[in-house]
Amino acid sequence: MKSVKHWINGALADGDPARTAELYNPATGEVSGHVALASAADVDAAVAAAVAAFPAWRDASLTKRAQVLFRFRELMYAHRDELAALISSEHGKVHSDALGEVARGLEVVEFACGIPHLLKGGYSEGVSTRVDSYSIRQPLGVVAGITPFNFPAMVPMWMYPIAIACGNAFVLKPSEKDPSASLLMARLWQEAGLPDGVFSVVQGDKVSVDRLLEHPDVRAVSFVGSTPIARYVYETGTAHGKRVQALGGAKNHMLVLPDADLDLVADSAVSAGFGSAGERCMAISVVLAVDPIGDELVQKIVERVEHLVVGPGDDPASQMGPLVTGPHRDKVASYLDLGVEEGAKLVVDGRETTVTGGGKASETAGFWLGPTVLDHVPAGSRTHTDEIFGPVLSIVRVSSYEEGLKVINDGLYGNGTAIFTNDGGAARRFQNEVEVGMIGINVPIPVPMAFYSFGGWKSSLFGDTHVHGTEGVHFYTRGKVVTSRWLDPSHGGVNLGFPTNG
């Protein structure tokens, strides 16, 4: 049985022994260990270590910081298989998918290696007589990241490489469902030469989140998770004077115009709908099929879904693993009956899927549900609008581009979306008219590269700043403008007038 602890001031810490949570192997449903749940005092210890470490790290030269980041990048790359195996064992996703999230996270580390360039300010000579102006960006101090279960490596890596490169000290509160990756990352930071206290991990639940949101020494909070908690984190954190970016849930639509290549569409819908068992905030969960292609497209999707290999994450043949917990599997599965009650047609029932090494998904130990396809889902029904966050692909039939666009824009969320078409003019119109933060044109999961910023609109983001890219650098720094004047001997003496430029 493993026991997952905190990482405070460069060492493992037991913390308060009174509170722990169970960890599971989602493929078998068995308890695999326990994770510590931090008390407020444990959070205080991590923040105190960060406060103590901050001044020296802030004053470390940009080249020194970049060198630590380069070493961290190499160590993470060398340990990527170990990291992916830890993720699979607790999250359930297949090994190749876990490797993929590490690779995408590493792109942010690579971006942050360019911090000497990213923190360059501006300089204007001679803004007034013998007066120069220049801008600089400085770190905030101690910043916190609170992250979800579905990307235990990548989502923290959206945050901490940039926060640390900017000169902050970072406290990570990962999901209590798959916490082990955070400790490997902490160890590798230490090996890379990051001073103790600059990166700490507190494992935990609401108690630790609340303490981070209230702690007077935490200057900023980055959050990624579900919409109700994102809203709560944003409101509570800002009420305590913090800068907050809180990314929430999603329900992403793929709008398919009749001129699209339907084989490409079917491949893309199945990949984006069922990769990581649909537990991705950028998963495609609704296909909007514009008449008259619906029947043909559904047939192509079903043909592909029937060939998906569902099995344990550590089996190289598996394409899709189990869901993260039993309660989550049950919640996702409940939408199969609800969908039918609401008028949809269940064309592939994931409860009947055969799991490698087991039997039917619904009868196999572990948190299994196979890929499910619901056709003719009524627009506006709960099956259509709720974030299900599992392997359930809904097909909503629409009569036109305009109707499809309206369905998307009427939605609560605005994280990602995609249009599939061969008509460049329609695609261009879509990117202009759709109220969503990240758009794919014939790309089903349009996750921006590290040097752009990731984030949605509407209830998918609370706060103004998206993560990573230049918005990430801005989030983790404050601007200053310096106006300097070096006098020559003819400065003219006292002048009580308001400073104007001449």
- Site membership for ligand NAD, residue 247 (CB under 6 A): yes
Closest distance between ligand NAD and the C-beta of residue 380, in Å?
20
Which residue, judged by CB position, is nearest to ligand NAD in the bound state?
Answer: 225
Of 15, 152, 456, 472, the residue at the interface with ligand NAD (CB under 6 A) is: 456
Of 7, 72, 274, 389, the residue at the interface with ligand NAD (CB under 6 A) is: 389
Q: How far is CA 448 from CA 66, 255, 456, in A?
A: 23, 19, 11
Closest distance between ligand NAD and the C-beta of residue 357, in Å?
27
- Site membership for ligand NAD, residue 152 (CB under 6 A): no
**Site string (193-212) toward ligand NAD, x via CB under 6 A:** ------------xx--x---
d(CA 42, CA 19): 11
What letter would DSSP give residue 200? E
- Site membership for ligand NAD, residue 226 (CB under 6 A): yes
- The stretch near ligand NAD (CB under 6 A) out of 9-17, 141-149, 331-339, 378-386 is 141-149
Q: Are 469 and 114 in contact (CB under 8 A)?
A: no
Q: Which residues contact 42 (CB under 8 A, 6 or more apart)?
A: 6, 8, 13, 15, 16, 36, 202, 204, 208
Closest distance between ligand NAD and the C-beta of residue 57, in Å?
25
Of 23, 35, 115, 146, the residue at the interface with ligand NAD (CB under 6 A) is: 146
Closest distance between ligand NAD and the C-beta of residue 266, in Å?
24
Q: How far is CA 436 from CA 252, 348, 378, 405, 446, in A?
A: 9, 29, 21, 11, 12
Closest distance between ligand NAD and the C-beta of residue 205, in Å?
5
Query: Which C-beta is closer to ligand NAD: that of 150 or that of 364?
Result: 150
Handedness of CA 249, 305, 345, 349 (dihedral sign): negative
Q: Which residues contact 260 (CB under 8 A, 6 or more apart)?
A: 293, 420, 421, 422, 442
- The stretch near ligand NAD (CB under 6 A) out of 47-55, 81-89, 170-178, 306-314 is 170-178
**Which residues participate in catalysis according to the annotation?**
281
* Cβ neighbours around 1 below 10 Å, total: 8
- The stretch near ligand NAD (CB under 6 A) out of 39-47, 147-155, 312-320, 419-427 is 147-155
Residue with token string 């579905």: 150
> What CA dihedral angle connects 341, 342, 347 and 348, to 10 degrees?
-70
Handedness of CA 460, 464, 467, 468 (dihedral sign): positive
Query: Which C-beta is closer to ligand NAD: that of 106 or that of 209?
Result: 209
- Site membership for ligand NAD, residue 224 (CB under 6 A): yes
Instruction: Give the interface with ligand NAD as residue ranges (CB under 6 A).
Output: 146-151, 155, 173, 175-176, 205-206, 209, 224-226, 229, 247-250, 281, 387, 389, 415, 456, 460
